[in-house]
Copies of this chain bind each other. A is one copy, B any other.
Amino acid sequence: MTDYIFKLELKVRDYECDMQGIVNNAIYQNYLEHCRHEFLLSVGIDFNRLTQEKIFLVVVRAELDYKTPLRGGDVFWIGLNLKRVSPIRFVFLQDIFHSPDQRLALSARTTGTALNEKGRPFLPPELIALLEAPGKAEAKLRY
């Protein structure tokens, strides 16, 4: 299993399941986004405040490989890594595991960038600092 710089544990809520009785495909993007924002917050980057300051972190590409479905009540954890892939783009690598048996539920690769109010690429200083040394943020495991 890969080493991750951030981990977040969550529990499936029943309303996130669809008529097949499994977590709906789109919901995984919610989980992944929430994990990215919690990670950013843990290193001092507040998505809410950036948005208010008209700096927009945006996704330009998402790739998701669905492995084994999550069901109502399942506990799972998300592992996250981050790397810079160009001067203005970065990639989050995220895997979701079933907590009880560590089985892989989903693997995702999300490419992002940051834009200013005029829609121009603009990486805020705290993000540049993070990308230069994603280092090893204090891993945490939380509900």
Contact = CB atoms under 8 A, between A and B. Distances in A.
Interface of A: 13-15, 17-21, 24-27, 29-30, 33-34, 37, 41, 46-48, 51-52, 56, 58-66, 69, 71-73, 142-143
Contacts of A143: 142-143
A33 B16 CA distance: 11
A14 B26 contact: no
Given A47-B72, A59-B66, A34 B18 contact: no
B24 A15 contact: yes
Contact of A25 (B29, B63, B71, B73): B29
A58 B47 contact: no
Nearest to A52: B21
Contacts of A58: 20, 66, 69
A13 B13 CA distance: 13
Contacts of A65: 60-61
A48 B69 CA distance: 15
Contacts of A56: 20
Nearest to A71: B48
A84 to B, nearest CB: 19
Contact of A48 (B14, B26, B142): B14
